[in-house]
């Protein structure tokens, strides 16, 4: 009896080892080269099961007509991408804008990269300095001079509330060069040569989509770190633009950036439409909060309804 039990234990042990080795081998297959004939076969199989690109020409024309109506006074740029099929279109998608709080996603990515490298601990406490307090914040109750907050808490405030104080405090954890490295790694332009390393370049909706795509596919950060940023983006308190154009049951991970003084209001994110997740990034200038809320939510609604038809979801119309 003891011998049988011993064999069972040994068998279970080697089964577990085989599972781990198999898992590692499977992981390695994703990056290891294969024979050319196999590579061609794999490509053909992939193309056969890949969804056909959505016909985006019609929806683009309708959105352009909407943006040229008399009641739209500001300038708007838009980038859309179906993350499954790769279909995309843009409207003035390469126009450049100041990023404002859109940069906070990259601040979070820079900090989490250092966490992954064991250079920063999520439970490390940072004491807020008076100079770091944002007096123009919409949430003055969040922070006070002398408060000690963990990196974990500051990351939540950074994305969920778009908190400038959290951004200032977290920026103490990395050098300007490290932040520029993150900008480049997630597919956005760093400071040009001749500019100081703390220079913050302008960005287009198409370029910002690179950072969203990077998070979705977990390229720069690990999958857990990417999931964390997306979870915080999905839990943001800002819901008057892209979110407003979607039915209640559709999840969206997004980040706003705005400066009322310059009339710039942006909202960029990933809409998790079942079977057809997509990127939507809309930026504006010479607008107002009221107009941008109305225009961006309407653009979001129209794109959602277009994609719902494409993937044949049950009709769920969003009230305009």
Q: Within 10 Å of residue 35's Cβ, how many Cβ atoms?
A: 8
Is residue 195 very low, low, confident or very high in pLDDT (cuts 50, 70, 90)? Answer: confident
Higher pLDDT, 143 or 105: 105
Range with the poorest average pLDDT among 97-111, 147-161, 193-207, 255-269: 193-207
- Strand-pair category, 251-259 with 264-272: antiparallel
CATH number of 56-98+204-320: 3.40.710.10
Least confident of 113-122, 198-207, 285-294: 198-207
Phi and psi angles of residue 91, each rounded to the nearest 5 degrees, phi first:
-130, 110
138 Cβ contact partners less than 8 Å away, ≥ 6 residues apart? 161
Report whether 205 contacts 77 (CB < 8 A): yes
Exposure b/e, 4-22, CB count within 10 A at least 16 = b: eeeeeeeeeeeeeeeeeee
The CATH architecture assigned to 100-201 reads 3-Layer(aba) Sandwich (3.40)
Q: Are 269 and 297 in contact (CB under 8 A)?
A: no
How much is the pLDDT for 57?
Answer: 84
Q: Do domains 56-98+204-320 and 100-201 have the same CATH topology?
A: yes
In whole angstroms, give the CA distance from residue 107 to residue 82.
26
pTM metric for this prediction: 0.84
Does residue 226 have a pLDDT over 60?
yes
pLDDT at residue 26 is higher than 50:
no
**At 251, phi and psi to the nearest 5?**
-85, 140
How crowded is the C-beta side of 33, counted as CA atoms within 13 Å? 2
Which sign does the torsion angle of CA 237, 241, 247, 253 carry?
negative
Rg of the Cα trace of the chain?
A: 23
Distance of CA 58 to the CA centre of its chain: 26
Give the C-alpha separation, 171 to 108, whole Å: 9
For residue 15, pLDDT over 60 is answered with no
**How far apart are the C-alpha atoms of 62 and 299, rounded to whole Å?**
10
Mean pLDDT computed over every residue of the chain: 87
Please report, rounded to a whole number, the percentage of residues in the chain having pLDDT higher than 90.
Answer: 68
Structure tokens at 134: 């944002």
User: Own/partner pairs for 301-305, CB < 8 Å, 24+ apart?
Assistant: 301/245, 301/246, 302/59, 302/62, 302/63, 302/66, 302/245, 303/59, 303/63, 303/80, 303/245, 303/278, 304/245, 304/246, 304/247, 304/250, 304/271, 304/273
CA distance 190 to 204: 13
Report d(CA 111, CA 13) in Å as an integer. 39
Alpha-carbon distance 234 to 252, whole Å? 6
pLDDT digits (tens, 9 = 90+) for 51-79: 777 788 889 999 999 999 888 999 999 99
Domain residue ranges in the chain: 2-49, 56-98+204-320, 100-201
Q: Say if residue 303's pLDDT is above 80.
A: yes
In the chain, which ranges are E strands? 75-82, 88-91, 125-127, 148-150, 251-259, 264-272, 278-285
Give pLDDT tens digits for 249-277. Answer: 999 999 999 999 999 999 999 999 998 99
Opening angle at CA 258, ends 254 and 260, nearest 5: 150
Token representation of residue 235: 């839990």
Tens digits of per-residue pLDDT, 135-175? 777 788 888 888 999 999 999 999 999 999 999 999 999 99
Q: Is the pLDDT of residue 185 over 80?
A: yes
């Amino acid at each position: 009896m003891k011998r049988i039990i011993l064999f069972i234990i040994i068998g279970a042990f080697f089964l577990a080892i085989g599972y781990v080795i198999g898992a590692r081998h499977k992981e390695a297959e994703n990056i290891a080269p294969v024979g050319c004939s196999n590579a061609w076969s794999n490509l053909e199989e992939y193309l056969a099961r890949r969804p056909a690109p959505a016909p985006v020409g019609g929806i683009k024309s309708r959105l352009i007509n909407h943006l040229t109506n008399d009641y739209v006074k500001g300038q708007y740029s838009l980038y859309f991408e179906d993350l499954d099929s790769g279909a995309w279109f843009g409207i003035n998608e390469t126009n450049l804008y100041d990023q404002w709080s859109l940069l906070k996603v990259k601040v979070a990515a820079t900090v989490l990269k250092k966490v992954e490298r064991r250079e920063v601990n999520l439970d490390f406490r940072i004491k807020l300095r008076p100079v770091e307090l944002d007096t123009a914040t919409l949430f003055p109750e969040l922070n006070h001079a002398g408060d000690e907050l963990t990196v974990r808490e500051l990351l939540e405030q950074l994305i969920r509330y778009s908190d400038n104080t959290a951004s200032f405090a977290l920026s103490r954890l990395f050098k300007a060069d490290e932040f520029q490295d993150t900008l480049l790694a997630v597919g956005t332009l760093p400071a040009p040569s001749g500019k100081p390393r703390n220079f913050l370049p302008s960005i287009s909706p198409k370029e910002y989509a690179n950072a969203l795509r990077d998070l979705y596919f977990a390229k720069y950060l690990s999958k857990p770190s990417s999931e964390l940023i997306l979870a915080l983006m999905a839990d943001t308190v800002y819901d008057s633009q892209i979110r407003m154009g979607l039915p209640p049951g559709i999840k969206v991970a997004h980040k706003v950036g705005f400066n009322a003084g310059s009339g710039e209001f942006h909202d960029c994110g990933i809409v998790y439409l079942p079977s057809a997740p997509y990127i939507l990034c809309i930026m504006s200038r010479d607008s107002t909060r009221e107009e941008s809320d109305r225009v961006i939510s309407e653009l979001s609604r129209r794109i959602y309804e277009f994609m719902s038809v494409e993937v044949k979801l049950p009709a769920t119309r969003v009230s305009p």
